Chain A
Amino acid sequence: MAGLDILLQNVANGVLMGGVYALIGIGLTLVFGVMRTINFAHGDFVVLGMYSAVLFNALLGWDPYLSLLLAMPIGFFAGVVVERFILSRVVDAPPESALLATLGISLIIGNAILLTFGGEPRSVQVSYASSTFSIAGVNVSMVLLLAGIATVIMIAALYALLNRTEIGRAIRGTAENRLGAELVGIDTRRIHSIVFGLGVMLAVMAGVTLIPLLFATPTNTGAVFTLKAFVVTVLGGLGNVGAAIAGGILLGVVEVLGASYFMSEYREAYGLIAFLLILLFRPEGLFGRTVKRV
């Protein structure tokens, strides 16, 4: 029975961690689905979220979840500005230009944080950081559970936005066919700005929910999160929000199980190997329709 308990424990941790990965992945996949841009700066926006929580905590003594109230709108606005002034200029250039532009943004964000906050890892101490409670013998970390709840709320809100509102319809229309959307009177430039803003907002939110759990460092963490977001979205299928959720949970479980049953030093590698296998054998993702878009 002990083996089963440990398995359940690992799966629970994996699923909760995967929820946060999903949150990061959804932002990336939303931007890709609508703008056809692979956003290399996505992980750096996650780190920016982490540092915003650090900043609000240091200045005002706020709990990370309280700072979401300010961090999310600021993130959205920052995304809109970046899209307006940089990405909208390369939207019709070869796809590589947008990729390189986001790579530049990534380097600028990471190094600007390094200049402002210095290189030491930062975190926010919260009273519930190490508290856990158990459900049916499975210990669940409070921080991960809160992150999981935040993820579920955010995904529900996003689902409602995409499927129940006029803007959501315009976003889906633009993703489906940009020219067609323009022909029926949708301002796709505005939609691009909104979508990039949403993507950044999701990244910032994921960063804030992660800060009680992880240390933030300026340049390395960004790359790690960008990579994880890629893995999540490619696992699920780029440009598909629902699949990113499944991809995130899958990555969380694969990492935790791989680390506890095989070699723990290769924790990061399991996700990458799964990523390569999927890219090679099912480039449309595990849940994607078999349409070659590449």
Chain B
Amino acid sequence: MIKHLIGLGVLLAVGIAYPAIFPNNLTIAISVLLFAGWATSWDLLGGWNGQVSLGHASFVGLGAYFVAIGQSQFGLAPWWTMAMAAAFAAVLGYFWGQLTFSLRGPYFSLSTIAVAEILRLVAINEEWLTGGATGVFIATLPEPFGIDLFSRTAQFYMALAFAAMVIAIVIAISRGRFGYQLRAVREDEDSAMASGIDPTATKLKAFMLSAALTSIGGGIYGIVLAFIEPHVIFALLLSVQIALTAIIGGRGTIWGPAVGALVLVGAGEMFRTTFAEANMLIYGILILVVVLFLPRGIVGELARRHIRRLYAKRAQG
């Protein structure tokens, strides 16, 4: 617990100093932080609770659209629309979960793709609401305390706050009653039920929290993009990217998804010139490596080795 809080402190300290040290590499850092936040939110449901969702781009899209439409059509400031998006995402997550949590394992994953695709089609076709396939443009943003939200530095700090908030929430949950309920349901729903845990209620809570947090990040992403197109932001590939980031980093670990975001966005940037648009190739290769050789993900595997070393030392001493 203390270690994790120190880790969070280090993240914040490095993050606060970062724009001063690398003022030219802010866009990629924003990307890392947003993916870290999304993957950590995904992990609440996918890792801690074991329900692999391949539809999380829906919540990213929801957040982005709330901010963009709220600003361009109603003149609402992003912080209000982000709060509204989070509330709406939680409600959507509730109904989505009610609908699909009777399904287990791969069937649940399949149903999340179907729901997400239907939402994408709605975003493309309901032009009166979303501007249709052409998308929505954010032309102006308010300036709280004179801060220009269009500047990359301000966006970086928003992304940093988002990632840190999500990680802090997961740290808090991991040691609490809810965290143990999540893991009990993941390991065995029937035994969890036998110990007095309601698996469906637990999964619903995890889904709602995960959805709300993801949509807040989506709102920040909307500001960063300033131009929101449904086929980009609701893409199945974005859902897959979020899920794979968490899985490659290490499911059900606190820092795994964040490490995954750093590794994957970093690798994507490194091979940008080699692979150009085809940089999802890296995700494909890394997920195969993880599935075949590191089933617990990068951080999960490191943690396991660390624990084994501790036991070995104790056995010797």
- Interface of A with B (CB < 8 Å)? 38, 86, 89-90, 93, 95-97, 99-101, 103-108, 110-112, 114-115, 119, 219, 223, 227, 230-231, 234, 263, 265-266, 268-269, 272-273, 275-276, 279-280, 283, 294
Interchain nearest-CB distance for B49 vs A (Å): 13
- Interface of B with A (CB < 8 Å)? 52, 99-100, 102-107, 109-111, 113-115, 117-118, 121, 124-125, 236-237, 240, 244, 247, 275, 277-281, 283-288, 290-292, 295
Do A100 and B278 contact each other (CB < 8 Å), given the known contacts A276-B115, A279-B103?
no
Q: Are B287 and A107 closer than 8 Å at their CB atoms? A: yes
Q: Are B125 and A266 closer than 8 Å at their CB atoms? A: yes
Question: B110 touches which one: A103, A104, A115, A279 (CB < 8 A)?
Answer: A279
Interface centre among B105, B275, B286 (most CB of A within 10 A): B105
Q: Are A275 and B284 closer than 8 Å at their CB atoms? A: no
CB-defined contacts of B105 to chain A, threshold 8 Å:
95-96, 294
Q: In the docked arrangement, what's the CA distance between A263 and B240, Å?
A: 29
CB-defined contacts of B107 to chain A, threshold 8 Å:
279, 283, 294
Chain B interface SS verdict (over half): helix
Q: In the docked arrangement, what's the CA distance between A97 and B290, Å?
A: 9
Q: In the docked arrangement, what's the CA distance between A269 and B117, Å?
A: 8
Interchain nearest-CB distance for B293 vs A (Å): 10
A-B contact pairs, 27 of them (CB 8 A): A90-B292, A93-B291, A96-B105, A99-B106, A100-B244, A100-B247, A100-B287, A101-B287, A101-B291, A103-B287, A114-B277, A115-B281, A231-B114, A266-B121, A266-B125, A268-B117, A269-B121, A272-B114, A272-B117, A276-B118, A279-B103, A279-B107, A279-B111, A279-B114, A280-B100, A294-B104, A294-B107
Q: Are A106 and B284 closer than 8 Å at their CB atoms? A: yes
Chain A minimum-CB-distance residue to B103: A279
CB-defined contacts of B244 to chain A, threshold 8 Å:
100, 103
Do A269 and B287 contact each other (CB < 8 Å), given the known contacts A111-B275, A219-B237, A280-B99?
no
Chain B minimum-CB-distance residue to A118: B277
Q: In the docked arrangement, what's the CA distance between A56 and B281, Å?
A: 25
Interchain nearest-CB distance for B166 vs A (Å): 23
Question: A219 touches which one: B110, B125, B275, B280 (CB < 8 A)?
Answer: B280
Q: Are B284 and A111 closer than 8 Å at their CB atoms? A: yes
Chain A minimum-CB-distance residue to B284: A107
Q: Are A38 and B110 closer than 8 Å at their CB atoms? A: yes
Chain B minimum-CB-distance residue to A238: B107
Q: Are B103 and A104 closer than 8 Å at their CB atoms? A: no
Do A111 and B281 contact each other (CB < 8 Å), given the known contacts A86-B288, A90-B292, A294-B103?
yes
Question: B291 touches which one: A97, A276, A279 (CB < 8 A)?
Answer: A97
Question: A227 touches which one: B103, B115, B117, B291 (CB < 8 A)?
Answer: B117
Do A99 and B109 contact each other (CB < 8 Å), given the known contacts A111-B278, A114-B278?
yes
Chain A interface SS verdict (over half): helix
Q: Are A119 and B277 closer than 8 Å at their CB atoms? A: yes
Q: In the docked arrangement, what's the CA distance between A107 and B283, Å?
A: 7
Q: In the docked arrangement, what's the CA distance between A192 and B310, Å?
A: 41
Do A100 and B275 contact each other (CB < 8 Å), given the known contacts A107-B284, A219-B237, A294-B103?
no
Question: B240 touches which one: A107, A115, A269 (CB < 8 A)?
Answer: A107
Q: Are A110 and B280 closer than 8 Å at their CB atoms? A: yes
Q: In the docked arrangement, what's the CA distance between A95 and B106, Å?
A: 8
Q: Are A104 and B102 closer than 8 Å at their CB atoms? A: no
Q: Are A108 and B113 closer than 8 Å at their CB atoms? A: no
8 nearest A-B residue pairs (beta carbon): A107-B284, A108-B284, A104-B287, A111-B281, A111-B278, A104-B288, A265-B125, A114-B278
Do A115 and B275 contact each other (CB < 8 Å), given the known contacts A100-B291, A101-B291, A104-B284?
yes
Q: In the docked arrangement, what's the CA distance between A86 and B105, Å?
A: 21
CB-defined contacts of B287 to chain A, threshold 8 Å:
100-101, 103-104, 107
Chain B minimum-CB-distance residue to A269: B121
CB-defined contacts of B240 to chain A, threshold 8 Å:
103, 107
CB-defined contacts of B279 to chain A, threshold 8 Å:
111
CB-defined contacts of A268 to chain B, threshold 8 Å:
117, 121
Chain A minimum-CB-distance residue to B113: A227
Q: In the docked arrangement, what's the CA distance between A106 and B280, Å?
A: 10
CB-defined contacts of B114 to chain A, threshold 8 Å:
227, 230-231, 272, 275-276, 279
Q: In the docked arrangement, what's the CA distance between A104 and B289, Å?
A: 9
Q: Are A272 and B118 closer than 8 Å at their CB atoms? A: yes
Q: Are B125 and A105 closer than 8 Å at their CB atoms? A: no
CB-defined contacts of A106 to chain B, threshold 8 Å:
284
Interface centre among A38, A104, A268, A280 (most CB of B within 10 A): A104
Instruction: Known A-B contacts: A97-B291, A265-B124. Give 17 more (CB < 8 A).
Output: A38-B106, A89-B292, A95-B106, A104-B287, A104-B291, A107-B287, A112-B278, A119-B277, A231-B114, A263-B125, A265-B125, A272-B118, A276-B111, A280-B103, A280-B111, A294-B104, A294-B105
